[in-house]
Amino acid sequence: MTYLVHRVAVIGSGTMGAGIAQAAATAGWSTVITDARLEALPAALTGIERTLEGSVSRGKLSTGERDAIRGRISSASSIADACRNADLVIEAVVEDLAVKQAVLTEASTVVPHSALLATNTSSLSVAALSTGLPHPSRFLGLHFFNPVHLMKLVEIVVHEKTDDAAREDALSVVRALRKEPIVVRDSPGFASSRLGVVLGLEAIRMVEQGVASAHDIDRAMELGYNHPMGPLRLTDLVGLDVRLRIAEYLHRTLGDDQYEPPQLMR
Ligand code: NAI
């Protein structure tokens, strides 16, 4: 059965939060974004407007659709105001377990029990993030990719307490967003980051060792393996700070030296 979403709250209005909010509004849902830094909110809205404008100029969106999408997005100055009455809450704050736990716990005190609560974490344990939530069965990972409006994949990350109904609801949410879901068991880095980060780190180590230039290492993957973008350019797009945190976490949890961040990255 299709999970009916009317109102979405997105917590964190950075690169991912803004992209997710735009995708939710494009799916026709009333969407509220919030951020601990209130000054980030107008910047996020301006960024969304710029992306929508780009779609209009490429003929992908009519001006009427642009206005309707923009009209469905608003901002709130607190998590409580954003999440009250939401059917779907997506957390997209900094990749830090304690910060995410605090944000999710705060959201869980105001959302209706039936709401689906999700994290956009790239690597952290979804089970650990569920600690302290009153309804962990309605909590899971919805891992979007950057830039959200272009990337088709959403990883649905289920932990031991996620129930079947929540998993089905997540599948219907992802399809309504016109994205392609994969379902992954909660484990460090899930499917995408665990594989993708290895390539990025190894590419940086290769630059460090003078194997080839950054440009040529990227070309090796683009032309030799048909990757649309080389691992170094992709690491820049994700953000070196974001990738560093993921690498440190994977190194700690998987205990594998291939995840140790190279000095050049630091
Ligand atoms: P970002 O740094 O652009 O945005 C994070 C936002 O969270 C900032 O605006 C910050 O002010 C806000 N924030 C921090 N603490 C907060 C709090 N306590 N309450 C409310 N807002 C708070 O980061 P980005 O890149 O958007 O990443 C967000 C999440 O998405 C991270 O978990 C990251 O691992 C994940 N992710 C990032 C991808 C990327 O390519 N950058 C791809 C997929 C997932």
Q: Is 14 in the pocket of ligand 1 (CB under 6 A)?
A: yes
Q: Is 95 in the pocket of ligand 1 (CB under 6 A)?
A: yes
| Nearest atom in ligand 1 to 246's CA | 34
AA letter at 197: V
For ligand 1, the distance from its centroid to the CA atom of residue 94, given in whole angstroms, is 4
> Which of 247, 246, 215 lies closest to 231 in space, CA to CA?
215
| Nearest atom in ligand 1 to 144's CA | 43
Q: Is 75 in the pocket of ligand 1 (CB under 6 A)?
A: no
Report whether the peptide linkage leading into residue 231 is cis, meaning its omega lies within 30 degrees of zero.
no
For ligand 1, the distance from its centroid to the CA atom of residue 111, given in whole angstroms, is 21
Site to substitute for ligand 1 among 33, 94, 149, 184, most atoms within 8 A of C-beta:
94
For ligand 1, the distance from its centroid to the CA atom of residue 120, given in whole angstroms, is 9
CA distances from 206 to 149, 213, 246 (A): 32, 9, 19
The strand pair at 153-158 and 139-143 is best described as: antiparallel
Looking at residue 231, what is its pLDDT? Answer: 98
Q: Is 239 in the pocket of ligand 1 (CB under 6 A)?
A: yes
For ligand 1, the distance from its centroid to the CA atom of residue 4, given in whole angstroms, is 26
Q: Is 41 in the pocket of ligand 1 (CB under 6 A)?
A: no
The strand pair at 30-34 and 116-119 is best described as: unpaired
Residue of the nearest CA to atom 31 in ligand 1? Answer: 95
For ligand 1, the distance from its centroid to the CA atom of residue 30, given in whole angstroms, is 21
DSSP string of 124-162, one letter each residue: S-HHHHHTT-S-GGGEEEEE--SSTTT--EEEEEE-TT-
Residue 228 structure tokens:
């649309």
Q: Is 30 in the pocket of ligand 1 (CB under 6 A)?
A: no
Looking at residue 259, what is its pLDDT? Answer: 97
Query: Residue ranges of the chain with pLDDT lower than 70?
Result: none
- Judge whether 143 and 17 are in contact, CB under 8 Å: no
Q: How far apart are CA 74 and CA 79, in angstroms?
A: 13
